[in-house]
Structure 1
Amino acid sequence: MSETEPQPAAPRARVAATRPPRGSAKPNGQWRIDGTAPLNPNEVWKQADGGLSVRERIETIYAERGFASIDPTDLHGRFRWWGLYTQRKPGIDGGKTATLEPHELEDEYFMLRVRIDGGQLSTEQLRVIAAISTEFGRDTADLTDRQNVQLHWIRVEDVPEIWRRLEAVGLMTTEACGDVPRVVLGSPVAGIAADELIDPTPQIEEITRRFVGDESLANLPRKFKSAITGHPSQDVVHEINDVAFVAVEHPDLGVGYDLWVGGGLSASPRLAERLGAFVRPDQVADTWHGVTQIFRDYGFRRLRNKARLKFLLADWGPERFRRVLQDEYLGYALADGPPAPKPATAGDHVGVHRQRDGRYYVGVTPIVGRVSGPILAALADVLEANGSRRLRTTPHQKLVILDVPEDRVESLVAALDELGLQARPSLIRRGTIACTGIEFCKLAIVETKVNATEAVLELETRLAELDLPHPLSLHVNGCPNSCARIQTADIGLKGQLVTIDGEQVPGYQVHLGGGLATNDRESPGLGRTVRGLKVRADGIADYVERVARRFLTDRDADTGETFAEWAHRADEEALQ
């Protein structure tokens, strides 16, 4: 879910706000330039009473008195700082998403996002999430493309007990949503992959220990997304994060990180840029803190649709951004550094792979990230029965099982397959992800999980005889906000009402040929939009089959042409 819905009016700020003199240009709400006077209702209530403060009211008032007692500004604003969004009321069709007020769209239940930094879980933690899903969430559980787990049907009355259980095993929902530093993505094979350059776990742990829940960073202009990987597959979609650290070997300084800043998708996609700076492991947390403070102090706050860090980077450029980072926040210069080589392998880690210690890790694919409480509980049992007590979530809605003895690999794979978690999936199942969609999200226009699942199952039959050269990434999103990263997929579907043969129906706008760090050739970057190309909500399988067959007919196999490369050079007729 996104937080772009309208916000209620808020009481007058209690924070003293000043604004230094400025020229005639309209202020952007940059605190270091324009002062801290709030320029929209969101900024008013954030200054009046920060999002972190609402936990006490949830525990002492709202959980006792129920949904009707919740202050509207808390409900639609501050609750997000603790991973809580109201979910969509069942039965409201997509045509009403843009016309109804938030309180008319929402149910008296919540989506709860469990924050899992680095995607690192134990079977004990997995069992706790599974039990919460079963007892409080009607068995719901979705693996997100931010390495989190989302539960639904949560009542405010149950939230304190859920927090107690999560925190007892080292999990939390703190700043899982809101205008704050969100979960830190980390390589799912951190510390165990044989080909890893560096284990980023200490850097992730330092960032989360020092800064999650830090009041000084709890009022950013908008959400702030981070990623760190030490693996050469660059497996954390670093190009679409606000700040990212990608492992690289410096010719003189050894292994450290290449610094990227300013990525993000939604309705105005922009890929991050390298600052050309090499960050030593011991500099990562302070550098992360510096970038986050730049966003806090210089980010554009007046208009929320221009408030992400990508807009500041577009205005400044990477050279100025690096200079401000070094001069105003770090107090020293970062070394210049080389770019990391293009990855030669996929970063989803699906399949069976040997660890550096001789054991194995197994990456599995649930269809579009949809699991459940009973599946997660059974998964914990299966892992322990086969010698594993650790697993990871991934930025691709997958799971990676760690530490499997060689003689237990095949028994594990068979047991996981019975749970619908395939280690050797079809290429279309492996490459398909989907956002929450209209089932639960108040911003959605179209169904996603069900439509994508039905398409995958159908395409596994239709495409079975085709010799696809690589997984075909299919990303299905219920609205324009791109939680499922539609602009970076081979085939990205953006939910909207479409007119086909004179009839307005739920459907998708098509983006083709997107790609991030997926192979050793130049990535084409963001996908191509073909004018007038729309797909009915129930027509995903028909379209994907048609365009996949055309790709195989037209591609230059001698050069190893990928779908993304073909989609960018093909004429519009071939893409219909």
Structure 2
Amino acid sequence: MADLNVGSAPPGRAAAWQPQGEGQWALGHREPLNDNERIKRDDDPLNVRERIETTYSRRGFASIDPDDLHGRFRWMGLYTQRRPGIDGGRTAVLEPHELDDEYFMMRIRADGGQLDLAQLRTVARISRTYARDTADITDRQNIQLHWVRIEDVPAIWEQIEAVGLSTMEACGDCPRVICGSPVAGVAEAEIVDPTPAIREIVDTYLGDPDYANLPRKFKSSVAWLPDTPYQTNDLAFVGTIHPDLGPGFDLWGGGGLSTNPRLAERLGAWVPMHEIPEVWAAVVRLFREYGYRRLRSRARLKFLFADWGAARVRETLEDEFLGRPLVDGPAPELPDRPIDHVGVHRQWDGNRYVGVAPIAGRTSGTSLDRAADAVEAHGSHRVRLTPYQKLLVLDVAPERTEPLIAALREAGLSARPTTWRRNTMACTGIEFCKLAIVETKARAVSLVGEIERRLADLDVDISVNVNGCPNACARTQVADIGLKGQLVPGPDGTTVEGFQIHLGGGLALGRGQRSDFGLKLRGLKTSASELPDYVERVARNYATQRTEGETFAEWVLRADKTSLS
């Protein structure tokens, strides 16, 4: 049977009918093909701010137009959070309005993960005043608040914008926060600090309507050091040295996880730092014009890369959006394992930076306020958020590091965590997320505590990423142990919270290690209550069977199924 989206016209309708294809604007397919596209066509999502300030915040939650509530609010960093008491079995059954609570998750952008002391204190104060003391550090270097009322949103905006922060385009079909190295500008190994390029992108394009209506979200990373998960981004710039032209950035594209994971690949192009904003904007325009808008499930840039290939994407970028060829360049040097910057490290100026680890990014306004006090008392005025849900304090004099570490410990932030506390990440989970099926944050905290107790004698380095649904916000597929939330049969045959298990995932690293998604062995699942038993068992098997220097991911590839079960 012919596909009426791409084939010939149906009989008798040749004059009026046009093939829809994938809804690509560049091919003339401008008519919205789903409700999300209609919402964006009917009104620029950026216009919703005025309605929030002048109408919704004054008249309350019940006054909010549904198209704004479930669509355009995202462009202002707002999602309705999950109504308490709705179990995971009803996540995919109920309509959005049935899942909605009358409170919001608010996402505050921190492009490059950079915060000064005034910004940190402001976030902490807002958390305590308006968000029931909630504050989560995300794996994209944002801070998320919960329990936010629509009546309080204008006051929150006024306070965060007064210190240079924003929620604009923190969500939505637009360019999300730009990830960057949390040690940009201070790292000894950094040759070029791309912070000015990140700032130029934000100052020039954030809030520009021409860049705010994309087929889906657009995630990007700009860093000299390969210390961001660059292969999971739609677009990434990674530092490299051209043999003739010197330091610049290698261009990667087409990455993204969720239910159809794909790792970004090199375009083979070398970009000097001053050209990063231009190239970034050109890729966004390419995505805007050629991205697929027919099906939301195929609207990320990775699907265009999969269909076209990197060579055609680069050719189109050069011919149609830059008007010039890009310079060919070499691949970057990659580390042997992910870099999270936890602990004490030397800066190029002789000072130190100190990285601390809340468990799975879960913190609070109270904790952040105590951290701000400790930072200031020990002579620093800058902190950074990492894409591994960690917090760094910059510019610490060597003699002040130990007193600072002690003070941060009192705030629940450890600079010398166990490997389990250090290497565990989690998404928001069923506590607040309307897409989630299982609990994640509290589960991660209890898992870390239990495994620390059980495996105190074991010297292993294993990452555990906990996700509440298949969308992989916690990068499930590229962890040593990735846990995808789902309902599983319990001991008495009833369904209970549990996880499908992915093993041995990871991003491109040195030593010839490959980037790949974790193995999914048929039937390898665990209930949430049995999760500590599983993690203990597989960790002990690895410790017993590994060879000298063998990573967990390498061991998984050769281990028998019994050892992995």
Paired with 2:510 and 2:451, the residues of 1 have a C-alpha distance of 24
Match of 2:358 among 366, 380, 389: 366
Is the contact between residue 22 and residue 34 of structure 1 (CA under 8 Å) also seen in structure 2?
Answer: no
The answer to whether 1:315 aligns with 2:311 is no
Paired with 1:416 and 1:38, the residues of 2 have a C-alpha distance of 51
Match of 1:481 among 471, 474, 479: 471
* Structure 1 segment 75-474 matched on structure 2, within 5 A: 75-231=69-225, 234-344=226-336, 346-468=338-460, 471-474=461-464
* Structure 1 segment 495-574 matched on structure 2, within 5 A: 495-501=485-491, 502-557=493-548, 560-574=549-563
Task: Give secondary structure in 1 for the equivalent of 2:412.
Answer: coil
> Which residue of the partner structure matches residue 8 of structure 1?
none
Q: Write the deviation string for residues 543-575 of structure 1: whole angstroms up to 9, x where unpaired.
A: 111000011122122xx1110111122222211
Paired with 2:211 and 2:147, the residues of 1 have a C-alpha distance of 30
What are the ranges of 5 or more consecutive residues in structure 1 without an aligned counterpart? 1-19
Q: Write the deviation string for residues 418-475 of structure 1: whole angstroms up to 9, x where unpaired.
A: 211111111111100000000000110000001111010111111111122xx31100
Paired with 2:509 and 2:498, the residues of 1 have a C-alpha distance of 28
Paired with 1:101 and 1:349, the residues of 2 have a C-alpha distance of 42
Aligned length: 551
What amino acid is aligned across from residue 364 of structure 2 in structure 1? Answer: S
Q: Write the deviation string for residues 508-565 of structure 1: whole angstroms up to 9, x where unpaired.
A: 00000001145533134111111101111122211111000011122122xx111011
- Higher mean C-alpha displacement, 209-218 vs 32-41: 32-41
Is the contact between residue 513 and residue 524 of structure 1 (CA under 8 Å) also seen in structure 2?
Answer: no
What amino acid is aligned across from residue 412 of structure 1 in structure 2? Answer: L
Is the contact between residue 110 and residue 152 of structure 1 (CA under 8 Å) also seen in structure 2?
Answer: yes
Paired with 2:20 and 2:154, the residues of 1 have a C-alpha distance of 44
Compute the displacement of 1:300 (Å): 0.4
> Which residue of the partner structure matches residue 38 of structure 1?
32
Compute the displacement of 1:34 (Å): 3.6
Is the contact between residue 452 and residue 540 of structure 1 (CA under 8 Å) also seen in structure 2?
Answer: no
Match of 2:484 among 482, 494, 511: 494
What amino acid is aligned across from residue 468 of structure 2 in structure 1? Answer: G
> Cα–Cα, structure 1 residues 298 and 209, in superposed 2: closer, same or farther, change >3 Å?
same
Paired with 2:336 and 2:391, the residues of 1 have a C-alpha distance of 21
Is the contact between residue 524 and residue 565 of structure 1 (CA under 8 Å) also seen in structure 2?
Answer: no
Paired with 2:217 and 2:76, the residues of 1 have a C-alpha distance of 13
Is the contact between residue 234 and residue 256 of structure 2 (CA under 8 Å) also seen in structure 1?
Answer: yes
Compute the displacement of 1:24 (Å): 8.3
Task: Give secondary structure in 2 for the equivalent of 1:191.
Answer: coil
> Cα–Cα, structure 1 residues 21 and 299, in superposed 2: closer, same or farther, change >3 Å?
farther
Paired with 1:367 and 1:225, the residues of 2 have a C-alpha distance of 24
- Higher mean C-alpha displacement, 37-46 vs 293-302: 37-46
Paired with 1:378 and 1:51, the residues of 2 have a C-alpha distance of 37
Compute the displacement of 1:212 (Å): 0.6
> Which residue of the partner structure matches residue 3 of structure 1?
none
Task: Give secondary structure in 2 for the equivalent of 1:342.
Answer: coil
Task: Give secondary structure in 1 for the equivalent of 2:523.
Answer: strand
Paired with 1:519 and 1:366, the residues of 2 have a C-alpha distance of 28
Paired with 2:19 and 2:484, the residues of 1 have a C-alpha distance of 36
Q: Write the deviation string for residues 464-514 of structure 1: whole angstroms up to 9, x where unpaired.
A: 11122xx31100000010000000000000001012443321100000000
Task: Give secondary structure in 1 for the equivalent of 2:496.
Answer: strand
Is the contact between residue 235 and residue 251 of structure 2 (CA under 8 Å) also seen in structure 1?
Answer: yes
Normalization by structure 1: what TM-score?
A: 0.94
Q: Write the deviation string for residues 170-206 of structure 1: whole angstroms up to 9, x where unpaired.
A: 0000000000000000000000011112111011011
Compute the displacement of 1:26 (Å): 4.9
> Cα–Cα, structure 1 residues 484 and 301, in superposed 2: closer, same or farther, change >3 Å?
same
- Higher mean C-alpha displacement, 20-29 vs 143-152: 20-29
Q: Write the deviation string for residues 335-371 of structure 1: whole angstroms up to 9, x where unpaired.
A: 1000001214641001100100010001110011011
Is the contact between residue 359 and residue 405 of structure 1 (CA under 8 Å) also seen in structure 2?
Answer: yes
Is the contact between residue 249 and residue 256 of structure 1 (CA under 8 Å) also seen in structure 2?
Answer: yes
Normalization by structure 2: what TM-score?
A: 0.96
Paired with 1:29 and 1:284, the residues of 2 have a C-alpha distance of 29
Paired with 1:539 and 1:357, the residues of 2 have a C-alpha distance of 48
What amino acid is aligned across from residue 481 of structure 2 in structure 1? Answer: I
Is the contact between residue 509 and residue 515 of structure 2 (CA under 8 Å) also seen in structure 1?
Answer: no
> Cα–Cα, structure 1 residues 21 and 460, in superposed 2: closer, same or farther, change >3 Å?
farther
What amino acid is aligned across from residue 450 of structure 1 in structure 2? Answer: A
Paired with 2:394 and 2:337, the residues of 1 have a C-alpha distance of 19
What are the ranges of 5 or more consecutive residues in structure 2 without an aligned counterpart? 1-13
Paired with 2:20 and 2:57, the residues of 1 have a C-alpha distance of 43
> Cα–Cα, structure 1 residues 409 and 518, in superposed 2: closer, same or farther, change >3 Å?
farther
Is the contact between residue 109 and residue 170 of structure 2 (CA under 8 Å) also seen in structure 1?
Answer: yes
Paired with 2:507 and 2:495, the residues of 1 have a C-alpha distance of 33
RMSD: 1.4
Paired with 1:304 and 1:53, the residues of 2 have a C-alpha distance of 23
What amino acid is aligned across from residue 472 of structure 2 in structure 1? Answer: S
What amino acid is aligned across from residue 369 of structure 1 in structure 2? Answer: G
Q: Write the deviation string for residues 218-273 of structure 1: whole angstroms up to 9, x where unpaired.
A: 11000000001112xx1110000000000001111110000000100001100001
> Which residue of the partner structure matches residue 28 of structure 1?
22
Paired with 1:497 and 1:398, the residues of 2 have a C-alpha distance of 30
Paired with 1:163 and 1:420, the residues of 2 have a C-alpha distance of 28
> Which residue of the partner structure matches residue 16 of structure 1?
none
Paired with 1:507 and 1:345, the residues of 2 have a C-alpha distance of 29
Task: Give secondary structure in 2 for the equivalent of 1:437.
Answer: coil
Q: Write the deviation string for residues 302-351 of structure 1: whole angstroms up to 9, x where unpaired.
A: 00000000000001001100000011111111110000012146410011
Q: Write the deviation string for residues 35-69 of structure 1: whole angstroms up to 9, x where unpaired.
A: 21111111111011011010000000000000000
Paired with 2:413 and 2:519, the residues of 1 have a C-alpha distance of 32
Is the contact between residue 227 and residue 241 of structure 1 (CA under 8 Å) also seen in structure 2?
Answer: yes
Task: Give secondary structure in 1 for the equivalent of 2:520.
Answer: strand
Task: Give secondary structure in 2 for the equivalent of 1:277.
Answer: strand
Is the contact between residue 175 and residue 213 of structure 1 (CA under 8 Å) also seen in structure 2?
Answer: yes
Is the contact between residue 237 and residue 517 of structure 1 (CA under 8 Å) also seen in structure 2?
Answer: no
